[in-house]
Amino acid sequence: VALRSQLYHALQQRQFHLYYQPKVRMDSQEMTGVEAIVRWHHPDEGMLLPASFIDLVEQSGIIHSFTRYTVEEAVNQIKIWQKQGFDVPVSVNLSAYNLLDDAFIGFIADLLAKTGVSPSLLEFELTESATMVDIDVSKKMIKTFKEMGIKTSIDDFGTGMSSFAYLRELDIHTVKLDRSFVKNIHQIEKDERIVEGIVALCRSLSINIIAEGVETARQAEILQGLDCQFAQGFLFGKPVPSGLVHSLLPSMKSLA
């Protein structure tokens, strides 16, 4: 049976689960937050990664309800962690289509009001291509998120066709440096120089930068040498179910 025809049922049956991958400050090894990454616990196929079904979700017209589900799960999890004494910033991936959803802002506002979760703990990740679908709409949405107290990051930064334009046009809190720049940074001088430039650019624009796909201590060391202090990647932790994030929480600053 085609996965596509099963999506709606899967959403109703809550077969989608959020996993959380730590983001860290490399010098102190302190966790600064997590990215929520969805997994499909498929009854027959086992665990499916988003690469195998996100496109289908987007094409099949359920992306609006799908994202409402993931954001709601993430906000509920923020609340659970708060009850345990930790403020854990969580980023949720959005699709381009979510920016075109007139009712999305209202949904988020209601959700935050209903749960009492601080918007400062919520972040949205957008890819460059998602923001390009309609740059004016993206600009407006990101501005509204900011007015609401929600941060926006640009995911896979550097892989789009006009990365500088996004920085100029959009009110971005954080740039997530695509893992393709990190992969060979210990071997390829050019990659190291490009990252050095991106870090300097972000710094001068007061935009945070986090390196993705950090897998080795050598990569981490070079990134730190380039003044890139924040990272995400298998070296620091894979995406795990919420319960397994628990062991990482004590490394966070405790609640004030």
In the chain, what is the straight-line distance between the N-terminal and C-terminal CA atoms, in Å? Answer: 51
Of 1 and 51, which has the nearer Cβ to Mn ion?
A: 51
Alpha-carbon span 48 to 38, nearest angstrom: 9
Closest contact distance (angstroms) between CB of 239 and ligand G is 5
Residue 233 binds which entry of ligand G, Mn ion, Na ion, none, CB below 5-8 Å type-dependent:
ligand G
Q: Does 156 bind Mn ion (CB under 5 A)?
A: yes
Size of the site for Na ion (CB under 5 A): 3
Q: Which does 192 bind (CB under 5 to 8 A by kind): ligand G, Mn ion, Na ion, none?
A: none
Q: How far apart are CA 20 and CA 39, in angstroms?
A: 10
d(CA 10, CA 146): 32
Q: Considering the rule CB under 5 A, would residue 178 count as an interface residue with Na ion?
A: no
131: contact with ligand G by CB under 6 A: no
C-alpha 212: how far from chain center: 10
Nearest residue (CB) to Na ion, 150 versus 192:
150
Q: Where are the beta strands (DSSP E) in the chain?
A: 16-25, 30-42, 46-48, 90-93, 122-127, 151-157, 174-177, 208-211, 230-232, 240-241
CA 108 from chain centre, in angstroms, equals 16
Per-position x/- string for 123-162, each x denoting binding to Na ion as judged by CB under 5 A, each - no binding:
--x-----------------------------x-------
> Which residues make up the interface to Mn ion (CB under 5 A)?
155-156, 212
> Which residues make up the interface to ligand G (CB under 6 A)?
21, 37-38, 49-51, 54, 70, 93, 95, 155-156, 179, 212-215, 233-234, 239
